[in-house]
Amino acid sequence: MATLEFKLPDIGEGVTEGEMVQWLVKAGDSVNQDQPLAEVMTDKATVEIPSPTKGTVKELKVKPGDVIKVGATMLVIETGGAGATAVPAKEAPKTTAPAPQAAKTAASTPATKSAPPSNGSNGHNDVYPPVAASHVLASPGTRRLARESGVDINNLKGSGPIGRVTRDDVAKGGGGGLETHSSGTPTKAPGMSIPRAPYQGPQGAVEERVPMRGIRRKIAEKMQLSKHIIPHFSLVDEANVTSLVALREGLKVKAEKSGVKVTYLPFLMKAMIATMREFPKFNASIDDAAEEIVYKKYFNLGFAADTDNGLVVPVIKNADQKSILEISREIVELSGKARANKLAPDDMKGGTISITNIGSIGGAFATPIINHPEVAILGMYKITDRLFLEKDGKVGSVKVMNLSITADHRLIDGAEAARFLKAFIERLENPGVLMLDLV
């Protein structure tokens, strides 16, 4: 009789060991393929380990309470055939979003290789959604749909034949819902599983249906993704921008001579960059797949632009290395392209933080949505004249701008946002200070 040494399989991202909770079989039991053998607890969840084969349990190698390393033998199973083998589990049981497959390098043979490549990656493996694991059944078109919808297909339970994931499963974000394993621990994955609710108007009501396409659909997807992933919070304050207004008025004429219209936006961008250097968390992203914070050493500032088609966010790349005049010129150029619907994908890519200027239209303040994977967005609002009680008791007049900072609470706490906004406002109120920040 052949025996099989069954080893603890790789049961999830970053998991190297688990604690044996209880055996679900004992020596002498006959087991079927995929029958749960044991419950193992990791620092993430309790998982059931399925049998890789049909056979008879010969020996249990660990007891409840033992800590087992991934790759260590758990039990010995007697199978029908001849010879002895040692295999890891057929596939890792699902707990968390499946670990990115370890980079698998090429076979030694220089000739053709027909084996399915794990994911064709020999380097870092940091894409989201992750590529489909080998056991996932879905057509190439369905896999692409899942990727484009930001759905991790590894977390979907397929409703099709033999567990095939269908387009409907992706659309519903999981058909029968996100797959949960028997221990009942919810899956952690940030895969979007937002129900697509139908709408049915009252009978006879005059309504028009227009397909949700192009920029509108993209905006819907991006906003939903951002709101789904990011716990938002906002903080509002006001800045006395009297000196900034004077400064800009003074420079405006000069700039116009060189053919550039200078708005307040480039000044705010410069103040933002200086403040972000002080608070690097605001110029960062969260890599959910790797559970890492990515601090960016470059400053690409997006600004929300309103167009007939909807909202777009062109990006001023490396704004820290550009003068106010250069930034102004680029804003005019990008805004023009945005209105003409001529922005290239690259014009909107790579932003590290965004600014939304609602002041040009109106409103006291808003609660903007962060442009994921950025972690903060600054709102700037209308400048108004306000009466102001000066130190000597006289009534004066100042120019005031409302400002908001909206941040990703996973990374940035309220106090930190408050400090950021304070430091930012100090720069705006004393624009001369910006000279100190000049690189």
Residues at the site binding another protein, with contacts judged by CB under 8 A: 33, 52-54, 79, 87-91, 103, 105-117, 119-127, 131-132, 134, 137-140, 143-144, 147-148, 150, 161-162, 164, 344-346, 348-349
Cβ pair 331, 316 in contact under 8 A: yes
As a whole number of angstroms, the distance between CA 75 and CA 61 comes to 5
Nearer to another protein, 106 or 415 (CB): 106
As a whole number of angstroms, the distance between CA 406 and CA 378 comes to 6
Nearer to another protein, 6 or 420 (CB): 6
CB of 101 to another protein, least distance (A): 10
Torsions phi, psi of 38, nearest 5?
Answer: -160, 160
CB of 240 to another protein, least distance (A): 40
As a whole number of angstroms, the distance between CA 292 and CA 390 comes to 48
Q: Which one of the listed residues 124, 135, 372, 409 is annotated catalytic?
A: 409
CB of 34 to another protein, least distance (A): 8
CB of 131 to another protein, least distance (A): 4
Nearer to another protein, 161 or 184 (CB): 161
Residues 234-272: b if buried by 16+ CB within 10 A, e if exposed: eebeebbbbebbeebeeeeeebeeeebebbbbbbbbbbb
As a whole number of angstroms, the distance between CA 192 and CA 225 comes to 7
CB of 342 to another protein, least distance (A): 10
Cβ pair 44, 17 in contact under 8 A: no
Cβ pair 436, 252 in contact under 8 A: no
Q: Tokens 């034949």 map to which residue? A: 161
Nearer to another protein, 128 or 233 (CB): 128
Nearer to another protein, 121 or 307 (CB): 121
CB of 130 to another protein, least distance (A): 8
Sign of CA dihedral 268, 274, 279, 282: positive
Burial of 383 (0-12, 13-18, 19+ CB in 10 A): middle
Nearer to another protein, 52 or 266 (CB): 52
- Closest by CA to 10, choosing from 85, 143, 118, is 118
Nearer to another protein, 143 or 252 (CB): 143
Would you state the structure tokens that stand for residue 283, as one six-digit string?
């110029």
Torsions phi, psi of 420, nearest 5?
Answer: -60, -50
In the chain, the largest separation of any two C-alpha atoms, in whole Å, equals 100
CB of 348 to another protein, least distance (A): 7
For residue 97, the one-letter residue type is A
3-state DSSP assignment of residue 129: coil
As a whole number of angstroms, the distance between CA 8 and CA 68 comes to 7
Nearer to another protein, 172 or 317 (CB): 317
Cβ atoms < 10 Å from Cβ of 138: 22
- Closest by CA to 19, choosing from 80, 89, 72, is 72
Q: What is the 3-state secondary structure (H, E, C) of 351-385?
A: CCEEEEECCCCCCCCCCCCCCCCCCEEEEEEEEEE
CB of 75 to another protein, least distance (A): 16
Instruction: Look up 372 and say whether it is catalytic.
Output: no
Cβ pair 208, 300 in contact under 8 A: no
Torsions phi, psi of 149, nearest 5?
Answer: -90, 0
Return the active site residues. Answer: 409
